[in-house]
Structure 1
Amino acid sequence: MKAIGISSSFHPYPNFDKKKGYPGIRAQAPAEYSNTITEFLEPLIKLNFGVPEELALRKSMCAFSLTTMHANDLSPLQRTPHFDASSPHHMAVLLYLCDERHGGTGFYRHKATGLQQITEATREHYLDVYYEEINAVRPPTRYFDDSNEHFSFLGMIPAKFNRLVIYRGSLLHTACINPALSINDNPRSGRLTVNTFYDF
């Protein structure tokens, strides 16, 4: 897969210039990989994450990703933990095509609300508190990877070549990166991953 990523054509993520969403570039992953990994993972996700068997799978994206935005260019929202969706069965699947020098994926608890997972029932309250905090004091210009006055660091799944990570998109999380190494648009040496998202 890494060889395919190296030969792929990468483009900025939508709204990259507006400093929203993923702070990097992406390239379409092969349909063969996308279809094979989906066929393999669907029953495992349903079994291990308690997804009702009758719910149909919907796949929204499968793409190579490289982190390329320098910390000084990140918007305030990109400098804190985030969640992908508040729906109960939204799943993120991350394949690392880089090694442990590129950090990993960190998970957090929001101190003021006590939340580490954002549901449809808690979403509005969480966002009200979160925006009040972020508007009162802008977060430091760095990629978030630790505890601060608003978030407690719960742990990290380290990057490892060919490691596949699956987690609920409703969990508060960040990409923990090595700024000296991972801000890189070269798929040979950058923080190359394959990101796939499912909902049920």
Structure 2
Amino acid sequence: MRRMTLVRIESIGAEAQPLVILDDFARDPDGLRSFAQAVDFTPALNHFPGVRAVLPADYLAMQLPIIAAAAAEAFGRTGPITVVDASFSIVSTPAGELAIPQRLPHIDAFTEDRIALVHYLSPGDGDGTAFFRHRSTGFEMVDEMRRDLFFRHLDMEMRHGGVPLPEYVLGDTPLFECIRTEPARYNRALLYRSWNLHSGAISPDNALSADPGAGRLTVTAFLSIG
């Protein structure tokens, strides 16, 4: 018998942005892994450091009721859900090949309707997701009001102090303080607002395999919830 999804709603940092943790998220995570191993992965766009592939056609339809209920409780969003983007994703870019934006915590969108989903599908659990505070501004989230100030500060800091070394963000850095790391767990999903400063918590011993049977296989999705 399938275990019921366990939903926890917690918060991130001093700004207390909501974080939804959903364990036993999908009905058949092993089936999702099998599907991923049968499709073609291609280099990702939009600064994701790895490869992506299409999802089963019914993936989000099956998960949307759980997402909608959690989003209503955690974020107060009760309107229709629009899927902006969704795919299998594997972090696989060697550290030495990371572009500058890939070496920094990032924001995916700047409005409160935009919600990010990451669903971990590696049986060995592996690397989770980290959230950050920008030291000079104190920002843990960046909305439209904060956007220009944040990027002005960040640009100035890198102009005067140099760009980050070619490595994945892990823990505290000179520019950012890590305020929470949520570990990966097989068939766990996270929901959080896309305006939170975050990054994959990619450890130095990660082999960065692009093979869906061996690498950090996840589903990543970006949703707009009215």
**183-192 or 173-182, which deviates more:** 173-182
Relative distance call for 1:40 and 1:101 in structure 2 (3 A) is: closer
Partner residue in 1 for 2:191: 166
Partner residue in 2 for 1:6: 37
Instruction: After the TM superposition, list the runs of 4 or more consecutive aligned residues in structure 1 that deviate by more than 6 angstroms.
Output: none
- Whether 2:63 is the aligned partner of 1:32: answer no
Q: Counterpart of 1:190 in structure 2: which amino acid?
A: G
From 7, 22, 31, the equivalent of 2:48 is 22
Cα RMSD after superposing both structures? 1.5
Tell me the alpha carbon deviations over residues 143-180 of structure 1, each in whole angstroms, 9 at most, x when there is no partner. 00111221111111101111111111110000011343
- Whether 2:95 is the aligned partner of 1:71: answer yes
What percent identity do the matched residue pairs reach? Answer: 28
**How far is 1:34 from its partner?**
1.6
Find the aligned partners of 2:37 and 2:163 in 1 and give their Cα distance.
36
Could you tell me whether the CA contact under 8 Å between 2:125 and 2:186 is conserved in 1? no
Alignment of 1:107-186 (within 5 A): 107-136=131-160, 137-186=162-211
**How far is 1:101 from its partner?**
5.6
Q: Counterpart of 2:98 in structure 1: which amino acid?
A: L
TM-score normalized by the length of structure 2: 0.81
SS of aligned partner of 1:72: helix
Q: Counterpart of 1:188 in structure 2: which amino acid?
A: G
Tell me the alpha carbon deviations over residues 61-95 of structure 1, each in whole angstroms, 9 at most, x when there is no partner. 12101111101001111101001111112111111
From 121, 125, 137, the equivalent of 1:97 is 121
**How far is 1:193 from its partner?**
0.2
SS of aligned partner of 1:31: coil
Find the aligned partners of 1:100 and 1:108 in 2 and give their Cα distance.
25
Could you tell me whether the CA contact under 8 Å between 2:95 and 2:167 is conserved in 1? yes
**42-51 or 107-116, which deviates more:** 42-51
Find the aligned partners of 1:182 and 1:98 in 2 and give their Cα distance.
13
Q: Counterpart of 2:224 in structure 1: which amino acid?
A: D
Q: Structure 1 stretches of 5 or more lacking a match? A: 15-19
SS of aligned partner of 1:21: coil
TM-score normalized by the length of structure 1: 0.91
Q: Structure 2 stretches of 5 or more lacking a match? A: 1-31
SS of aligned partner of 2:111: coil
Could you tell me whether the CA contact under 8 Å between 1:101 and 1:178 is conserved in 2? no
SS of aligned partner of 2:159: helix
